[in-house]
Structure 1
């Protein structure tokens, strides 16, 4: 007799630890639901023998109740419930293993710039609905009216609106649980004499885009060496721009929020150094001093500073935004930057954070998996230690190799 011939099966499985956790929790919940049905069936079995089963549950007539059949049904139920208890013990072990997996996930940090006191605050958002303040940095000499933030690798860029420079920080955090995170190291400033009315930042690959609000242009920097950006000669562009503020990128498409024109501009950045103007969009009274931009899947979010709302656009076709809806009325106050954090297993879909510059707070929303369903407000935080919060960025320390 020969050994079985097992084919060489090598499927490609691309799923992270964070993605496995909700799947495991769902499997536990489904098994618990099945056990609940079994327990309910055993209860109805007893009711049937005792003649107390509600009418309509069965067409059978209950037998005459005797001590012997009561003992028999009791023994049957007992055996079944013993098996249910054994299964519950296995599910408890499974759940404990999931909790161990949760402990292995890297922490997630939210950086929030406070324009009016020249600082950037760091919050631990490992639990997205309960941010914990773990640090603050900046001050005179490093920051001057910090507005927007952008992160690539372990490098943080902060645009300084008041002196038209960009500050660079090294935000490397060792791959281990650290509270508070390791110190953030100031590297240098750049852009003096090249930038005007600094606002939004966006990064794709080795290219940094910088919005010059007062010059109606966007500057391009080569950040192949993150700590030493090089201004691309003749790379600045400005077709269709009017008070550019927020920037966002998806694939080969760059979106720019034109605060002074209540519109958005779209550029093709297939060649990052030579953006090509495609179209502008605004809709009928949809945008009101648009500032911050963020993209989640096929949805573009645009914060309206003057009427304290956020617009949602379907960008399944990146160059043809379709207005979906508006949210945040009565909940936001001068929204500026917004950012969507990575999904966390213990939190509904994607957490979205929105800086309320006029209220000195940050609002948290849960974005349902169905883009048609309106975002759900979760809570507001930051009152008392944020000062005109403007820019937001999310940082996840590198995982151990």
Structure 2
């Protein structure tokens, strides 16, 4: 006798460990439901022979003997013993699923912060599933206990370091500082003892003149001043207490700055989008307080936000891959330009996209292979898949009815509590 043969089957589906867990839990629930039906059927069996189950069917014979009652009871007991055995197996199965859950890496929630210049608020979206943002809340400083003056001067650029959020107030010429340790809002609504989400902890204004954009490298914060075409530099070794270092531009930097809006950094190179002369400038910041212009390109129109791809790794141990692409939003013609920055000091224009989708794009932000672009004119945010960096694919837009003049974007990865 030969052994049975198993056909060569190549499944066309792939299920991850994360997807397997809810399937296993569902199977346990279905088996428990089936056992519940069996237990109910056995109970009704006893009710029927005792004459307490209204079925409209007469017993035959009409009188049940004690021996017959014992026989039915014995039958019920045998069935329930089998049910108990099955319950024990289900318990083992459930314990195994719990062990499987324990092997999974921690879940990291990710949030997108969006500044609304026209209603002086910041909106928060949960983007743990990047293509499907979920609105969480909107806040301003007046939402924080004991603070009455909030970002009332047109919030624009956003930047995050650790659990500190900086919000540039363009028309008040200051930057508000928020603690976003609990970004999702109140854990205990109505209870003043517990934090209530983002809490304003201060502000600063030295060296600022219509601030619109940020860039952070190490403990250095750069701020773009649109009004006087300068950049301010701060030491943020203590994030909630920035220390002003200097302001450069004008006579210090005679070229390369003209109504700067967006900033981005890779290595020792600082990119600046200049809305005043339709250029993007690259500065060497190997000496952080003394930037020097190394390149200026003009393939843009009303440049605003900047974003680099790929982004730095978030999780420890992830490989560091230098960014090879730079995206620049064009406010004037409602598009986004793509630059090859494989050689950071020599950005090369390689494409443009978004015509017909975008409307006055401002801030840009990237997580994994998803690009977000703030549409200032129609108060939405566009989503693009950039798995092919030079051929972005539009996914959808979101935020209508929630956003109001969205300007700056910032992404916040949150470790599990």
Instruction: State the distance in 2 between where 1:171 and 1:245 align.
Output: 24
Residue equivalent to 2:131: 129
The answer to whether the 8 A contact 2:156-2:170 is kept is yes
Residue equivalent to 2:394: 377
Instruction: State the distance in 2 between where 1:360 and 1:340 align.
Output: 19
Alpha-carbon offset, residue 200 of structure 1: 0.7
Instruction: State the distance in 2 between where 1:89 and 1:209 align.
Output: 48
Residue equivalent to 2:411: 394
The alignment partner of 1:96 has SS state of helix
**Partner deviation per Cα, 1:213-256 (whole Å, 9 max, x = no partner):** 11011010111111111111455654321110000111110000
Instruction: State the distance in 2 between where 1:389 and 1:92 align.
Output: 37
User: Which of these residues, 337, 353, 361, is aligned with residue 380 of structure 2?
Assistant: 361
Residue equivalent to 2:181: 172
Instruction: State the distance in 2 between where 1:94 and 1:132 align.
Output: 21
The answer to whether the 8 A contact 2:379-2:400 is kept is yes
Residue equivalent to 1:185: 199
Residue equivalent to 2:6: 80
The answer to whether 1:142 aligns with 2:159 is no
Residue equivalent to 2:284: 268
Residue equivalent to 1:227: 240
Corresponding pairs, count: 309
Q: CA distance change for structure 1 residues 164 and 102 in 2, over 3 Å: closer, same or farther?
A: farther
The alignment partner of 1:396 has SS state of strand
Residue equivalent to 1:114: 116
Instruction: State the distance in 2 between where 1:375 and 1:95 align.
Output: 28
Higher Cα Rg, which structure: 2
Instruction: State the distance in 2 between where 1:305 and 1:174 align.
Output: 29
Residue equivalent to 1:35: none
Residue equivalent to 1:53: none
Instruction: State the distance in 1 between where 2:223 and 2:340 align.
Output: 25
Instruction: State the distance in 2 between where 1:232 and 1:94 align.
Output: 48
Residue equivalent to 2:370: 351
The answer to whether 1:155 aligns with 2:138 is no
Residue equivalent to 1:96: 20
Instruction: State the distance in 1 between where 2:395 and 2:14 align.
Output: 34
The alignment partner of 2:273 has SS state of strand
User: Which of these residues, 321, 333, 342, is aligned with residue 307 of structure 1?
Assistant: 333
Q: CA distance change for structure 1 residues 128 and 219 in 2, over 3 Å: closer, same or farther?
A: same
The alignment partner of 1:80 has SS state of coil
The answer to whether the 8 A contact 1:145-1:160 is kept is yes
Instruction: State the distance in 1 between where 2:259 and 2:162 align.
Output: 29
The alignment partner of 2:118 has SS state of helix
Q: CA distance change for structure 1 residues 312 and 142 in 2, over 3 Å: closer, same or farther?
A: same
**Partner deviation per Cα, 1:119-162 (whole Å, 9 max, x = no partner):** 00000000111111112111562102000100011110010011
The answer to whether 1:278 aligns with 2:294 is yes
The answer to whether 1:329 aligns with 2:355 is yes
The alignment partner of 1:116 has SS state of coil
The answer to whether the 8 A contact 1:172-1:182 is kept is no
Alpha-carbon offset, residue 318 of structure 1: 0.6
Instruction: State the distance in 2 between where 1:92 and 1:128 align.
Output: 18
Alpha-carbon offset, residue 89 of structure 1: 12
The answer to whether the 8 A contact 1:173-1:397 is kept is no
Alpha-carbon offset, residue 399 of structure 1: 4.8
The alignment partner of 1:325 has SS state of strand
Which 4+ runs in 1 deviate beyond 4 A?
87-95, 97-103, 178-182, 234-237
Alpha-carbon offset, residue 371 of structure 1: 3.0
The alignment partner of 2:6 has SS state of helix
Alpha-carbon offset, residue 104 of structure 1: 3.1
Instruction: State the distance in 1 between where 2:5 and 2:13 align.
Output: 16
Q: CA distance change for structure 1 residues 325 and 88 in 2, over 3 Å: closer, same or farther?
A: closer
Instruction: State the distance in 2 between where 1:256 and 1:173 align.
Output: 32
Deviates more, 1:228-237 or 1:308-317: 228-237
